[in-house]
């Protein structure tokens, strides 16, 4: 233990005696580690934000969407859902509850007094609260009686309120949507941005009203969000819903589905796979710079061994063993690499936070503790691996020849 402590102190003294060279030697490791941490922090922060945005969509939520490929867009034959698909899910599929059609209403600009804005206008029902995880901060959400009575009421997002310069509590105000006046009955809780799109720049109107106002469109874009009664039967309900929708859409036996039923967390899972792959690829590329940094450490340490040949000879003449010399030079290499890694981690965190802050609406950077520990450990390992050759050369020097070295 005493020998190891002596070797550690000797390694520190040697590095301190050549500060500039030590710093320049660590640059390769420093830059590589900084790049890894910066990339991981930005991607991790983005991933956490996406996960949080979808956390309100319960694991028992499913969404029915129409499928379209390049051929559909090329020919203009776009698949859309029909109102019959909504009724099928609502009344013909056991185990389904809270069926909320989401109809994109193309109604033009929204006005309040002299100000205008163009938010996303969605026609839906009261069930959207359960399936989409939306809730109101002021007032109330849409009700079944709003839908049955075809009431001109609207629940708006905070960005819509801010863009129109409406009062902090806009409940009770009237806004002009297209050519129709709607009474604001609720203000949605702020949800922020997701993938660069504001979730607060939208408004909900009763589904029956949206359906009547978009009557000139034969089949407007629509999706249907719904939940299952029993989470354990999610797979079975999904299959039953698929068969019922196929029947509703009159698809022939063997024909491919022109729709898709996705779980609420499927997007998060796909996104996690993409970011995991991207992180691995980028980390691999940046990891090459760590290896280059390790080679730099090896080269500098070899030069250092040559410069300190006489010093090594004196140490051996004073009783230092081969193991003592080997340990000292390995510690020097490991300390150099670890120092570069620690500085790189700090600079990488700062760089990640800076990048996230410079992009409007981007979530804050975040790095898991285990990533930082792994980066520090890998940096030290690189130093040990690439320090073996110089350390072995130093330990193998003949003390008599070393003392004669000029």
pLDDT tens digits, one per residue of 88-125 = 888 888 988 888 899 988 888 999 998 999 999 999 99
Q: What is the pLDDT of residue 71?
A: 74
User: C-alpha 398: how far from its chain's center?
Assistant: 57
Q: Are the beta carbons of 249 and 67 closer than 8 angstroms?
A: no
Q: How far is CA 143 from CA 186, 211, 312, in A?
A: 11, 16, 85
Q: What is the pLDDT of residue 366?
A: 83
pLDDT at 217 over 70: no
Q: What is the pLDDT of residue 326?
A: 75
Buried b (16+ CB within 10 A) or exposed e, 133-168: bbebebbebbeeebbeeebbbbbbbbbbbebbebee
pLDDT digit string, tens, across residues 155-175: 999 999 999 999 999 999 999
With a CB cutoff of 8 Å and minimum separation 6, the contacts of 393 are 302, 305
- Report, in angstroms and rounded to the nearest whole number, the Rg of the chain calculated over CA atoms: 32
Q: Tell me which of 104 and 45 has the higher pLDDT.
A: 104
Angular region, 225: left φ>0, alpha ψ -120 to 50, beta rest? beta
Q: Is the pTM of this model over 0.75?
A: no
What mean pLDDT is predicted for residues 29-48? Answer: 81
Residue with tokens 């070393």: 402
Across 39-119, where does the E strand assignment appear? 61-66, 96-104, 110-112, 115-117
Measured between alpha carbons, how far is 339 from 28 in angstroms, rounded to an integer? Answer: 11
Helix (H) or strand (E) holding 194: strand 193-194
pLDDT digit string, tens, across residues 258-316: 888 887 656 666 666 776 777 677 667 667 777 777 777 777 777 776 666 677 677 76
User: What burial class does residue 128 get, using C-beta atoms within 10 Å of its C-beta: 0-12 exposed, 13-18 middle, 19+ buried?
Assistant: buried
Confidence of residue 1 (pLDDT cuts 50, 70, 90): very low
What mean pLDDT is predicted for residues 81-91? Answer: 86
First to last CA, the chain: 34
pLDDT at 128 over 60: yes
Q: What is the pLDDT of residue 186?
A: 95
Q: Mean pLDDT of all residues in the chain?
A: 80
Q: What is the pLDDT of residue 177?
A: 92
Q: What is the pLDDT of residue 156?
A: 95
What mean pLDDT is predicted for residues 216-227? Answer: 74
Least confident of 130-139, 145-154, 295-304, 306-315: 306-315
pLDDT at 405 over 70: no
């Amino acid at each position: 233990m005493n020998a190891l402590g002596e070797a550690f102190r000797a390694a520190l003294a040697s590095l301190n005696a050549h500060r500039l060279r030590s710093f320049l030697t660590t640059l390769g490791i420093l830059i590589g580690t900084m790049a890894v941490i910066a990339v991981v922090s930005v991607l991790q922060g983005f991933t956490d934000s996406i996960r949080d945005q979808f956390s309100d969509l319960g694991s028992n939520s499913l969404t029915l969407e129409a499928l379209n490929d390049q051929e559909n867009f090329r020919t203009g034959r776009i698949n859309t859902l029909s109102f019959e698909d909504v009724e099928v899910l609502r009344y013909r599929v056991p185990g389904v509850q809270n069926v909320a059609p989401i109809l994109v209403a193309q109604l033009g600009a929204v006005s309040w007094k002299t100000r205008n804005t163009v938010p996303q206008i969605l026609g839906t029902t009261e069930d959207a609260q359960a399936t989409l995880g939306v809730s109101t901060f002021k007032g109330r959400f849409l009700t079944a009686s709003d839908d049955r009575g075809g009431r001109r009421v609207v629940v708006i997002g905070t960005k819509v309120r801010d863009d129109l310069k409406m009062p902090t509590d806009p409940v009770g105000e009237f806004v002009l949507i297209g050519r129709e006046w709607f009474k604001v009955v609720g203000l949605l809780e702020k949800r922020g941005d997701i993938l660069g799109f504001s979730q607060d720049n939208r408004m909900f109107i009763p589904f029956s009203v949206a359906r009547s106002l978009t009557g000139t469109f034969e089949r407007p874009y629509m999706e249907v969000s719904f939940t299952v009664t029993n989470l354990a039967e999610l797979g079975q309900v999904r299959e039953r819903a698929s068969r019922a929708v196929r029947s509703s859409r009159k698809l022939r036996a063997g024909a491919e589905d022109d729709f898709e039923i996705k779980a609420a967390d499927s997007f998060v899972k796909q996104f996690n796979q993409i970011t995991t792959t991207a992180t691995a690829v980028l980390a691999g590329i940046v990891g090459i710079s760590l290896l280059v940094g390790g080679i730099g450490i090896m080269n500098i340490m070899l030069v250092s061994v040559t410069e300190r040949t006489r010093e090594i000879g004196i140490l051996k003449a004073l009783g230092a063993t081969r193991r003592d010399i080997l340990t000292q030079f390995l510690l020097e290499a490991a300390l150099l690499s670890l120092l570069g890694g620690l500085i790189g981690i700090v600079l990488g965190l700062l760089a990640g936070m800076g990048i996230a802050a410079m992009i409007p609406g981007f979530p804050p950077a975040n790095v898991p503790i285990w990533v930082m520990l792994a980066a520090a450990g890998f940096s030290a390992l690189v130093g040990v691996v690439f320090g073996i050759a110089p350390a072995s050369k130093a330990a193998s020097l003949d003390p008599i020849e070393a003392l004669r070295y000029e």
